[in-house]
């Protein structure tokens, strides 16, 4: 009896560990080479959420379902899926660039508080999980929740704010000013 309980506990632990590893693993966009210019690290895809929200309106789906042929509806859904996946990939690129920027700024600042490091790690994990869940939903052809997409975009915005705050702290610390300027411009 004890062996069965131990075996089940080990199996559950292994499954939970595998899922945590899978969800915490860096996204392909995070593995890309870093941008050379600091200006290129700013998010560029997040600003398109309002247009995406408008173009993917629920009324369009109802209209297509009622008025279009099955072939046109299938093509429309496929195009919609491509748009969503492209936007999602762009959000991941924005997140990856901001993450690299935040890590560079963090490496220049000698006094990064531990809670901020934990907050950034938690933000990164939440983004990766949300990204993977949304990409699976889109790939399965399920209707995408604009609320989830908005929350994912918000996570990118939160990281952007964190990076800006870190840069402001770096600017107020004159001891690291010279080394920061040389490292950011290289």
Give every CB contact of residue 90 below 8 A, 6+ residues apart in sequence.
44, 45, 48
Structure tokens at 106: 């963090």
For the entire predicted model, the pTM comes to: 0.69
Give every CB contact of residue 101 below 8 A, 6+ residues apart in sequence.
38, 41, 163
pLDDT in tens, the chain (186 residues): 888 888 888 888 788 777 666 666 777 777 665 555 555 555 666 666 667 776 676 667 778 878 888 898 888 888 888 888 888 888 888 888 888 887 777 777 767 677 877 888 888 888 898 888 888 888 887 777 778 888 888 888 888 887 787 778 777 765 544 444 444 444
């Amino acid at each position: 009896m004890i062996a069965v309980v131990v075996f089940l506990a080990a199996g559950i632990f292994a499954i939970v560990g595998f899922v945590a590893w899978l969800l915490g693993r860096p996204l392909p966009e995070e593995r890309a080479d870093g941008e050379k210019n600091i200006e290129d690290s700013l998010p560029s895809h997040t600003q398109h959420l309002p247009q995406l929200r408008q173009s993917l309106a629920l009324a369009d789906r109802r209209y297509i379902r009622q008025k279009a042929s099955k072939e046109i509806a299938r093509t429309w859904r496929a195009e919609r899926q491509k748009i969503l996946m492209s936007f999602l990939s762009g959000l991941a690129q924005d997140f990856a660039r901001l993450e690299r920027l935040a890590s560079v700024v963090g490496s220049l600042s000698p006094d990064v508080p531990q809670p901020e490091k934990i907050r950034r790690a938690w933000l990164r994990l939440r983004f990766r999980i949300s990204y993977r869940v949304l990409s699976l939903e889109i790939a399965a052809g399920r209707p995408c929740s604009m609320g989830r997409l908005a929350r994912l975009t918000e996570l990118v915005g939160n990281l952007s704010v964190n990076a800006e705050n870190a840069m402001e702290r770096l600017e107020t610390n004159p001891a690291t000013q010279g080394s920061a300027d040389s490292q950011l411009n290289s």
